[in-house]
Structure 1
Amino acid sequence: MPRHPIRLPEPHAINSVSPRTAMGLPPAYVSGQLNDNLPLADSRGLLGEPGDALSHLIHEGYPPPLRYLAGTVLALAGDPRIQPLNPKMLPVPGGLLRMGTEASEVDRVLARFNDLNLARPWIEKEVPTWTVSIPPFRLGRYPVTNLEYVAFLQDCPEAALPTSWAFGQMPPERANHPVYSVPLHAAQQYVSWLSQKTGRPFRLPTEAEWEWAASGGDNREYPWGSTWTDDCANTVESHCWMTTPVGMFPKGAGPFGHLDLAGNVEELVDTYYGPYPGGRWIDDDLAASGPYPITRGGSFTRFRDLGRCKRRHGYLDHPLYAIGFRIAEDMTD
Structure 2
Amino acid sequence: MNHLTELMPVMVVIPARTFRMGTPARETSDLARHYGGTRESYHEETPQHEVSLPAFAIAQTPLSAALYSLAVADGAVPPPPSWHGPVPPPTPAALPVIDVTWHEARTFCAWLNQQPTIALRLIDSAGQPVSPPSHLHFRLPTEAEWEHAARGTDGRRFPWGNDFDPQLANTRESGRAAPNPPGTYPNGRSPYGIEDMAGNVWEWTASLDYPYPYHPDDGREDPTAPGRRILRGGCYANPAGYARCACRFRLPPTMRNPFLGMRLALSIPEYHV
Q: Aligned match of 1:305 in 234, 241, 253?
A: 241
Alignment correspondent of 1:152:
71
> What is the distance in 1 between the residues matched to 2:104 and 2:71?
10
- TM-score relative to the length of structure 2: 0.80
Give the 5 Å matches for 1:25-104.
83-84=6-7, 86-104=8-26
- How far does the alpha carbon of each residue in 1:268-290 deviate from its partner, in whole angstroms, 9 at most, with x for none? 00001011139xxxxxxxxxxx8
Contact 1:141 1:257 in 2 (8 A): yes
Contact 2:69 2:79 in 1 (8 A): no
Query: Runs of 5+ in structure 2 lacking a partner?
Result: 119-134, 215-225
> What is the distance in 2 between the residues matched to 1:118 and 1:148?
38
Q: SS at the partner of 1:314? A: strand
Q: SS at the partner of 2:206? A: strand
Alignment correspondent of 1:220:
156
Contact 1:265 1:322 in 2 (8 A): yes
- TM-score relative to the length of structure 1: 0.66
> What is the distance in 2 between the residues matched to 1:318 and 1:209?
23
Shift >6 Å, 4+ stretches: none
Q: Are residues 1:247 and 2:183 paired? A: yes
Alignment correspondent of 2:262:
325
Contact 2:159 2:190 in 1 (8 A): yes
Query: Runs of 5+ in structure 1 lacking a partner?
Result: 1-79, 279-289
1:318 Cα deviation from its structure 2 partner: 6.3
Contact 1:269 1:293 in 2 (8 A): yes
Larger radius of gyration: 1
Letter in 1 for 2:237: T
> What is the distance in 2 between the residues matched to 1:163 and 1:121?
36
Which structure is higher in helix share? 1
Q: Aligned match of 1:109 in 31, 38, 41?
A: 31
Letter in 1 for 2:69: V
Q: Aligned match of 1:188 in 68, 84, 106?
A: 106
Letter in 2 for 1:210: W
Seq. identity, %: 34
Q: SS at the partner of 1:231? A: coil
Q: Are residues 1:277 and 2:213 paired? A: yes
Give the 5 Å matches for 1:203-218.
203-218=139-154
Q: Are residues 1:162 and 2:80 paired? A: yes
Q: Are residues 1:135 and 2:70 paired? A: no
- How far does the alpha carbon of each residue in 1:68-89 deviate from its partner, in whole angstroms, 9 at most, with x for none? xxxxxxxxxxxx9x833x4310
Contact 2:100 2:256 in 1 (8 A): no
Tell me: CA distance 1:188–1:306, structure 2 relative to 1, closer, same or farther (3 Å). Answer: same
Alignment correspondent of 1:177:
95
> What is the distance in 1 between the residues matched to 2:19 and 2:41?
21
Moved more, 180-189 or 128-137: 128-137
- How far does the alpha carbon of each residue in 1:34-68 deviate from its partner, in whole angstroms, 9 at most, with x for none? xxxxxxxxxxxxxxxxxxxxxxxxxxxxxxxxxxx
1:119 Cα deviation from its structure 2 partner: 4.9
Q: Aligned match of 2:37 in 103, 118, 137?
A: 118
1:120 Cα deviation from its structure 2 partner: 4.2
Q: Are residues 1:202 and 2:121 paired? A: no
- How far does the alpha carbon of each residue in 1:212-233 deviate from its partner, in whole angstroms, 9 at most, with x for none? 0011011111011112111111
Q: Are residues 1:259 and 2:181 paired? A: no
Letter in 2 for 1:196: Q
Alignment correspondent of 2:129:
none
- How far does the alpha carbon of each residue in 1:177-202 deviate from its partner, in whole angstroms, 9 at most, with x for none? 00011001111011111112145111
Q: SS at the partner of 1:164? A: helix
Q: SS at the partner of 2:109? A: helix
1:94 Cα deviation from its structure 2 partner: 1.4
| CA RMSD of superposed structures (Å) | 2.2
1:105 Cα deviation from its structure 2 partner: 1.8
Q: SS at the partner of 1:232? A: coil
> What is the distance in 2 between the residues matched to 1:318 and 1:155?
21
> What is the distance in 1 between the residues matched to 2:41 and 2:146?
19
Contact 1:263 1:299 in 2 (8 A): yes
1:98 Cα deviation from its structure 2 partner: 2.1
Alignment correspondent of 1:3:
none
Of structures 1 and 2, the one with the larger relative CO (CA 8 A, separation 6+) is: 2
